[in-house]
Amino acid sequence: MPEAMVAARESNVANGTAQQVDVAVVGAGFAGLYLLHRLRKAGLTAVGLEEAGDVGGTWYWNRYPGARCDIQTIDYSYTFDPELETAWTWSEKYATQPEILRYLGFVADRYDLRRDIRFKTKVTEARWDEATARWQLTTSNGAPVSARHYIMATGCLSAPKPPEIDGVKDFKGEVYFTGRWPHDGVNLAGKRVAVIGTGSSAIQSIPLIAEQAAHLTVFQRTPNFALPAHNGPAPSDRMSLLQGDRTAYREQARQSMAGVPYPQQTVVSWQLSDAERRERFERAWAAGDLVHILTQLWADQAVDVDGNKIVQDLIREKIRAAVSDPETAAALMPDDHPFGAKRPCLETNYYATFNRPNVTLVNLRQEPIKAITAGGITTARRNIDVDVIVFATGFDAMTGAIRAVHPITGRGGKSLTDVWAQGPQSYLGLTVEGFPNFFMITGPGSPSVLSNMAVSIEQHVDWVVDRLAALRDAGFTAIEPTETAQAGWNRHMADCSMVTLHRLANTWYTGANVPGKVQGLMPYTGGVGPYRSICDEVVSRGMLGFKLTGPDGAAQCNDGEVVKLQPDVRLVLNLLASLNLPPIESMGAIGARAFVEEFNKGRPAGRPIGDIVDGTLPGPDGPLPYRVYKPSTSGPHPVVVYFHGGGWVLGDEQSDEPFCRDMVRRTGMMFVSVGYRHAPEHRFPAAAEDGYAAARWIAEHATELGGKPGPVLVAGWSAGGNIAAVTCQLARDRGGPDIAGQLLVCPVTDCTFDRPSYNDNATGYFLTRSLMYWFWDLYCSPADRTDPRVSPLRGKVAGLPPAYVVTCEFDPLRDEGIAYAEAMAAAGVPVEQLRARGHFHSSFAMVDVIITGAPGRVQMAQALRRFAGLPPEVSRDDEHSHVSPGHRIAAAAS
């Protein structure tokens, strides 16, 4: 640092004149250091304000015994400078806290970053000044700061949680917090030590504390899943991947879901045998890698309670084997949350430590702590005398790091604490409406703690610094998200949270660990790669959702929501777009059928049900194939006649198998899927007449098929929805069969293409307008198209069976489905509608791919059960004779 600059800064500090900078950064950990480096390179002046006496952030404070990272260190490193990557070599697979701290010091020295950091300086207040469009900061130590931009690089776990236990002040012994461990170490030799908490910090420190202490008592409220770290040298397979192609390795990490380069699993648990699952699990267990075991077992482990429960059971088996005393082992086995929904831990000798004679576990679920006394800890059952209490009780996570640190006042005197009173609101987890030029690195609303922080930090820092430089270059002085954009992001966050199982656990991810804190999932669960692409999309769409303002009234605002699709729909559509497939309508009918068949081979087949039986039934012009899907419970069951989708051209009685299986499981009914004739070989009205004839025959032969005699139900998706609707009209007009209800999923109901949904969703959502033109042309001559047997909306709709009509927001067929539902309702038919926000035409048929379609199918199943006179509640007991904890979690989920 030039002498003159040092002198100027010191004199500012001394005389109280505000230090003028482009950017003020709070924190000098991983994020703050990289920010200072990037800001400097972008030609922006910056000051880092750091409460600690040196760089390091979380690694400065968390010096408890055993503190290490638990993402492999080769992944938990900066990647912005290839020379830095080769200049530093980690000594272990999981580096210790001192080594990580040395690394951060090395980085600070290498880029000469300390010269821009004011250590031992807390920001005591931050206020946006409208007149100057700058942030005015007061500090605990030295000059105030005036900055154009204010960036919180405060980390997610930097505000330790108070103990919330009565009597802490009365305790006469030593008290330590893992998150604020003394720098000169603690001597625990010969002492009676209590550790309160069994999260990551406790699980890392307990084995080492037990080695020193005369006696260790561990106070556990909630057992946590912990996996062996198998620490040692960095594994050779990962090292050779990295060294083989460093650029590709790092890029794969950036595009991955968790920020570590592992592929997406596609095989779901029920496609694997017990032996195959165990083999995968043992491999993961031996790998000693959190991200590996969290992502590489099977595709449904993190999104489905059944797929998750298999992992839980396998881990519980390991705990049982590791701990000698069965009662202690049982107490250490987590049973109240899905694996991964609460942050699991890596351990070294953790479970084995409970076999030591000097270690006792106190299960607070059975004997809660009543108070801390002068001499120890009193539970509901006993007094335990101790000399030392170690609080490993965690943090006021994510929001605590920002909100609790100091008052932050934005535009119009709005305080961030008030704005976040009901939980954190943000756009992209980066910015907050009403707080111009305010940024958070890995803030709530971004992948942050659900990712490799090193990767997420670099992505955020790059994005923010690039924006600040672009803002400056365009002559703007302020940037702020719009209300619309922020509300849209919060909706997207909520949509994402429905995909994974995180919402099913009480954790610091949801704020549940802090009494009185508003609860809601704070990190973004949509994945690192998808998140990065969304941030990039905001830029490529002209800073979508941001207001930019500058001198002399200069302003730009491209308002809108960046993601309106459900997160998994977005992923599927992006994947399809990346395949650059030719339009289906260009393949010809034969080619298109072959394509669909091939495409369907790659999807999960659907979960096991009872019997599946094939047969043929007499159609109007020859036999028609059918496939019966039966529940696993004993029948007879009500019968649903099902018509597959495919534009009257594609598909067959097996092509909607995952949907049929799923609905059989959810309804407890029997589905008979009909193979009606297809165009262009058999044009209108072949499909309609086949559908009607099949429904009639199935109703007449319900008993032979194993179903319940009496009224049938009809259901169909897409063109199959059209056939189902037409079947109901024909049944009414031709004297039966008796139909108790109809489920129409994204049905074709009319022959016009001028409703708004045809224009809004003409391309980009798989079912295109031009594909629909093609289907219509192959099936039906223009002269026939107003016939109600293909355009049921043109027919009489009174007197039809009760209907449940499903439409999807991003589907060309949306508005005709709604029109049909409204026409039936106007004619007195009992109608319920599900208008599925953020979904596309195939959402509900893509079972186990579009996870966000599951709640919709629950509602469809409930409707069918109502139509059949069954209680609407779909009990999983219909499929399983006992209720396991996993299923209780599932019931809570739905």
**104 is written with which tokens?**
């951060």
Q: In this structure, what are the phi and psi dihedrals at residue 348, rounded to the nearest 5 degrees?
A: -130, 105
**Minimum distance from residue 231 beta carbon to ligand NAP (Å):** 11
HSE-up (13 A, CA, CB side) for residue 697: 19
What sign has the CA pseudo-torsion 451, 453, 457, 458?
A: negative
**Minimum distance from residue 30 beta carbon to ligand NAP (Å):** 12
Closer to ligand NAP by CB, 379 or 558: give it.
379
Check if the beta carbon of residue 369 is closer than 8 Å to that of residue 347: no
**Minimum distance from residue 253 beta carbon to ligand NAP (Å):** 17
Per CB under 6 A, residues contacting ligand NAP are: 68-70, 157, 163-165, 178, 196-202, 204, 221-222, 343, 364, 392-395, 449, 508, 513
**Minimum distance from residue 323 beta carbon to ligand NAP (Å):** 17
Closer to ligand NAP by CB, 429 or 658: give it.
429
Tell the residue number behind the tokens 């006792």, with chain if given. 360
**Minimum distance from residue 198 beta carbon to ligand NAP (Å):** 4
Closer to ligand NAP by CB, 394 or 645: give it.
394
Closer to ligand NAP by CB, 199 or 530: give it.
199
Residue nearest to ligand NAP (CB): 199
Can you give the three-state secondary structure of 332-387, one letter per residue?
HCCCCCCECCECCEEECCHHHHCCCCCEEEEECCCCCEEEECCCEEEECCCEEECC
**Minimum distance from residue 204 beta carbon to ligand NAP (Å):** 6
**Minimum distance from residue 156 beta carbon to ligand NAP (Å):** 8
Check if the beta carbon of residue 171 is closer than 8 Å to that of residue 187: no
Closer to ligand NAP by CB, 344 or 737: give it.
344
**Minimum distance from residue 382 beta carbon to ligand NAP (Å):** 16
Closer to ligand NAP by CB, 364 or 469: give it.
364
CA distance 641 to 618: 15
Check if the beta carbon of residue 457 is closer than 8 Å to that of residue 442: yes
Q: Which strand (E) or helix (H) includes residue 805?
A: strand 803-810
Q: How far is CA 574 from CA 156, 258, 537, in A?
A: 31, 19, 13
**Minimum distance from residue 179 beta carbon to ligand NAP (Å):** 6
CA distance 335 to 322: 17
| Torsion region of 486: left, alpha or beta (phi above 0 gives left; psi -120 to 50 gives alpha) | alpha
Closer to ligand NAP by CB, 63 or 593: give it.
63
Closer to ligand NAP by CB, 396 or 662: give it.
396
**Minimum distance from residue 76 beta carbon to ligand NAP (Å):** 8
- Beta-carbon count within 10 A of 758 CB: 19
Closer to ligand NAP by CB, 178 or 451: give it.
178
Closer to ligand NAP by CB, 458 or 811: give it.
458
**Minimum distance from residue 58 beta carbon to ligand NAP (Å):** 8
Cα–Cα nearest to 171, from 344, 456, 371: 371
**Planar angle of CA 109, 112, 115, nearest 5 degrees:** 115
**How much of the chain is in helix, strand and coil states, percent to nearest 5?**
40, 20, 45
The DSSP code sequence of 115-146 is GGEETT--EEEEEEETTTTEEEEEESSS--EE
Check if the beta carbon of residue 139 is closer than 8 Å to that of residue 150: no
CA distance 782 to 739: 30
CA distance 432 to 410: 9
* DSSP-derived pairing of the beta strands 831-840 and 803-810: parallel
Tell the residue number behind the tokens 């005398």, with chain if given. 385
**Minimum distance from residue 142 beta carbon to ligand NAP (Å):** 31
Residue 430 gets which letter from DSSP?
T
Closer to ligand NAP by CB, 117 or 165: give it.
165
| Torsion region of 800: left, alpha or beta (phi above 0 gives left; psi -120 to 50 gives alpha) | beta
Closer to ligand NAP by CB, 393 or 729: give it.
393
Whether a cis peptide bond, with omega within 30° of 0, leads into 792 is: no
**Minimum distance from residue 395 beta carbon to ligand NAP (Å):** 6
CA distance 132 to 151: 18
**Minimum distance from residue 349 beta carbon to ligand NAP (Å):** 15
**164 is written with which tokens?**
């919330």
Closer to ligand NAP by CB, 225 or 684: give it.
225
* C-alpha 859 chain-centroid distance: 22
**Minimum distance from residue 707 beta carbon to ligand NAP (Å):** 49
Closer to ligand NAP by CB, 513 or 862: give it.
513
**470 is written with which tokens?**
């672009």
Report long-range pairs for 468-474 (Cβ below 8 Å, ≥24 apart).
468/22, 468/23, 468/39, 468/42, 468/44, 468/149, 469/42, 469/43, 469/44, 471/548, 472/22, 472/44, 474/548, 474/550
Closer to ligand NAP by CB, 455 or 679: give it.
455
**Minimum distance from residue 763 beta carbon to ligand NAP (Å):** 43
Cα–Cα nearest to 571, from 290, 851, 758: 851
Closer to ligand NAP by CB, 343 or 467: give it.
343
Closer to ligand NAP by CB, 182 or 588: give it.
182
**Minimum distance from residue 434 beta carbon to ligand NAP (Å):** 30
- Cα torsion 789, 792, 798, 800 to 10°: value is 70
**Minimum distance from residue 561 beta carbon to ligand NAP (Å):** 30
Rounded to a whole number of angstroms, the distance between the first and last alpha carbons of the chain is 59
Closer to ligand NAP by CB, 70 or 657: give it.
70
